Amino acid sequence: DTEVTQTPKHLVMGMTNKKSLKCEQHMGHRAMYWYKQKAKKPPELMFVYSYEKLSINESVPSRFSPECPNSSLLNLHLHALQPEDSALYLCASSREIQNSNQPQHFGDGTRLSIL
């Protein structure tokens, strides 16, 4: 069981659709992360939020739009995605960014398929 909850678990969408991925944690963590992972590869960092403000954007295309409505929730809005965006999208959280002794805890991910 994971303390970071991601919904939906699976998502199939067309290239013209708009959808959102959701992530929730109730551990009181103030840093939240989005990663993209291709099969049998390590996760690639996309975005980092710290205290509900965007801290890092790893040059992600604008068709991915993150949002942090409050300290427990993190969304990833998707629009006009490409087939190469099909991947497992992982959310993670940690107590803070600056304290590196606080590990990141991951959700089970959303498996996204773009038709």
Does 103 engage in binding with other proteins (CB under 8 A)?
Answer: yes
CB of 61 to other proteins, least distance (A): 19
CA angle 7, 10, 13 (to 5 degrees): 110
Alpha helices in the chain (DSSP H): none
Does 69 engage in binding with other proteins (CB under 8 A)?
Answer: no
Does 45 engage in binding with other proteins (CB under 8 A)?
Answer: yes
Does 109 engage in binding with other proteins (CB under 8 A)?
Answer: yes
Closest listed residue to residue 55, CA positions, set 78, 27, 74, 36: 74
94 φ, ψ (degrees, to nearest 5): -150, 165
Closest listed residue to residue 79, CA positions, set 4, 21, 22, 19: 19
Nearer to other proteins, 104 or 112 (CB): 104
Does 104 engage in binding with other proteins (CB under 8 A)?
Answer: yes
- Binding residues (CB under 8 A) for other proteins: these are 2, 4, 6, 31, 40-43, 45, 48, 55-56, 90, 92, 94, 96-98, 100-101, 103-109, 111
